Amino acid sequence: MITSRLSSKSQTTIPQPVRNALKLREGDELVYTFEPDGRVLISRASQPVDDPFATFDEWDSDADRKAYADL
């Protein structure tokens, strides 16, 4: 079992075996997926998330992309 400790600033270090398994490098983004049973799955993002609307999938239609394309 691999563990890490949460600091007083709510930070933790990702243990080396986990970084190696996920092939993490400095600057990589992580994705946290919450399972109904309380587990949290951590994976490396396949690509950086630069789209400010990515979180808001209700605004992710063709009409929205056209409307906001020139902003």
Question: In what helix (H) or strand (E) does residue 8 lie, and over which residues does it extend?
Answer: none
Number of folded domains in the chain? Answer: 1
Domain residues for the domain of 38 are 13-48
Tell me the mean pLDDT per 10 residues along the chain, length 71: 94 93 89 94 78 65 82 79
Spatial contact of 45 and 38, defined as CB atoms under 8 Å apart:
no
CA nearest to 53, candidates 67, 62, 65:
65
40 located within any domain: yes
68 located within any domain: no
41 located within any domain: yes
pLDDT in the model for residue 48: 59
